[in-house]
Amino acid sequence: MQTFATEAVDWPDTATLLRDQVRDLVAQHGERDPVRRANSWTKPNPAFSRKLGDAGLLGMTWPKEYGGHERSQLERYVVIEELLAAGAPVGAHWIADRQSGPLLLRLGNDRLKRRWVPAIARGEAFACIGLSEPGSGSDLASVRTSARRDDDEWIINGQKVWTTGAHISHFMIALVRSEAGSERQAGLSQFVIPMDAPGVTVKPIIDLRGAHEFNEVFFDDVRLPADALLGVEGEGWKQATAELSLERSGPERYLSSMVLFLELVRYAGTRTDPALQPLVGRLAAEAWTLRLMSASVAAKLARGEDPALEATIVKDLGNSYEQAIPQLVQAAVDFGDADAEVLRAVCFYLLQVSPSFSLRGGTREIIRGIIARGLGLR
């Protein structure tokens, strides 16, 4: 049976300089509103993304040939940890830098790589992921969006839903059914679809707070060149699940509510309430443990290992942690206290959005099934 073994992380010598660099950028160009700093990796700010690109803090591990900087996975981890802890508005470039760029570098042909990857590293190209479809929930194998070959083109028809950031994205990596009559995981392929291609329509999904993060995307006879195919035809399921491992492995899986925890620390420091200090201690200890686990995943990636199981465990435990914080704060704090105004605003925002934390990147039921199989429990 495989188990999760954490390890001491050998942080790079550049870590302190990178942390200072990020903190300076956030101080100059970051978000001031505490509510917007919570769950910040869903908050887009294209101008801030371009600042990070100018500073060499996007595409950090990628080859210089494609606009990257050939730095280590742990250096990248330091940067994203600092950005998330500060609540920086990184949502515009997040998906592209985290998973779309690496996927293009691994599986894309030269045209796709040269068109998109350097622009991602500059903070000028943003991506969305076309997975979920109406009526399919987390059952990605029920994909019905189709790709039909027509001489040297592909014709895409169908619909994607809950597509984060489609309204600001320049391209989508979509999982579609490329073999007519195929079922489940067979006959699926991935395509790189420019969002300004004729036949692509994006419609907003407005959430209960009035915010616009998700979208429906419709494809009506969208014509793509043959080399818009990403990777190998028919291997889309394997490629997409490998991509999800990248999505699950980062500190964003436990830091979404960190701004609320920091506000709690500030508030507790001005109070003598005996219930607050133990709560701060408990949340700090859990955060430190999750950080060690998450950094261990980054260390494995740096060695070229595949920590898919460990990343999935971090996602499950991290989601539980970041969902619990607003509930625990609500139970412990008297929000009638005038000094708790900021704490109350951040907490109420996270109470509304935190149920979605365990949906993105795979529902809790799906994730725990993956963990059980990985641990040899079923």
Query: Tens digits of per-residue pLDDT, 262-290?
Result: 999 999 998 888 889 999 999 999 999 99
**Across the strands, what pairs with 215?**
204
Task: Take residue 187 and report the two structure tokens written for it.
Answer: 């006959």
Picking from 18, 37, 28, the residue whose alpha carbon sits closest to that of residue 79 is 18
Range picked from 130-144, 152-166, 310-324 for highest mean pLDDT: 152-166
Set 243, 247, 252, 286: catalytic member:
247
Per-residue pLDDT tens digits for 238-264? 888 776 666 666 788 788 889 999 999
Domains and their CATH numbers in the chain: 15-125 (1.10.540.10), 129-234 (2.40.110.10), 249-374 (1.20.140.10)
**CB-CB contact of 49 with 122 (8 Å):** no
pLDDT at res. 145: 96
Residues with Cβ within 8 Å of 332's Cβ and at least 6 positions away in sequence, in order, are 273, 275, 276, 279
pLDDT at res. 317: 85
Alpha helices by DSSP H, listed for 227-307, are 236-248, 252-255, 258-268, 276-302
How many helices (H) and strands (E) the chain has is answered by 14, 8
Per-residue pLDDT tens digits for 49-78? 999 999 999 999 999 999 999 999 899 999
pLDDT at res. 244: 67
Cα 314 to Cα 252: distance, rounded to the nearest angstrom: 10
DSSP 178-208: -STT--TTTTEEEEEEETTSTTEEEEEEE-T
Catalytic residue list contains 247: yes
Residue 356 pLDDT level (bands cut at 50, 70, 90): confident
Higher per-residue pLDDT: 313 or 51: 51
Residue 64: CB atoms within 10 Å: 10
Picking from 154, 150, 146, the residue whose alpha carbon sits closest to that of residue 179 is 146
Pairing of strands 229-230, 171-177: unpaired
**CB-CB contact of 209 with 349 (8 Å):** yes
Q: Is the pLDDT assigned to residue 303 strictly greater than 90?
A: no
The whole-number average pLDDT for the span 146-169 is: 96
As to burial, measured by CB atoms within 10 angstroms (0-12 exposed, 13-18 middle, 19+ buried), residue 40 is buried
Cα 62 to Cα 177: distance, rounded to the nearest angstrom: 30
Residue 231: CB atoms within 10 Å: 20
